[in-house]
């Protein structure tokens, strides 16, 4: 089955700096890659996703890049703010015509210091 590895497990940055979180996946059939943000005691919230027919996607301060050949994808957050502090999870699935079971990475605890 699919296996998703996520690094780093913790990331500490100063407000205004950029943060990058990286994930690798094992199954070349995976074609959908969402990122979720989870605050303490809350539900995972989708922040951005990318499908395998796209190499990069951006939404304001958040961007995701995908390298299908290397089977890795990354989350980039620019101009970080204290409210960005949370746990971030990457995931992979075989979406589209197949079912969309998500395989999650282990999570990255991001701390943004004011």
Partner 1 sequence: NAGVMQNPRHLVRRRGQEARLRCSPMKGHSHVYWYRQLPEEGLKFMVYLQKENIIDESGMPKERFSAEFPKEGPSILRIQQVVRGDSAAYFCASSPSPGLAKETQYFGPGTRLLVL
Q: Give the interface with partner 1 as residue ranges (CB under 8 A).
A: 1, 6, 32, 34, 36, 42-46, 49, 51, 89, 93, 95-96, 99-107
Residue 46 tokens read as 């989708």
* Residue number, 24 or 93, with CB nearest to partner 1: 93
User: What is the closest distance, in whole angstroms, from the C-beta atom of residue 14 to partner 1 in the complex?
Assistant: 25
Structure-token pair, residue 34: 């969402």
**Residue 1 is encoded by which pair of tokens?**
């089955």
* 68 vs 78 by CB, closer to partner 1: 68
- CB atoms near residue 74 (< 10 Å): 17
């Amino acid at each position: 089955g699919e296996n998703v590895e996520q690094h780093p497990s913790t990331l500490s940055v100063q407000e205004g700096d950029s943060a990058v979180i990286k994930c690798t996946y094992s199954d070349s059939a995976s074609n959908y890659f969402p990122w979720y943000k989870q605050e303490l005691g809350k539900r995972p919230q989708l922040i951005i996703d990318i499908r395998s027919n796209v190499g990069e996607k951006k939404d304001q301060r958040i961007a995701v890049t995908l390298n299908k050949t290397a089977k890795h994808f990354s989350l980039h957050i620019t101009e970080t703010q204290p409210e960005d502090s949370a746990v971030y999870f990457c995931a992979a699935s075989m979406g589209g015509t197949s079912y969309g079971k998500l395989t999650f990475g282990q999570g990255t605890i991001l701390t943004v210091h004011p």
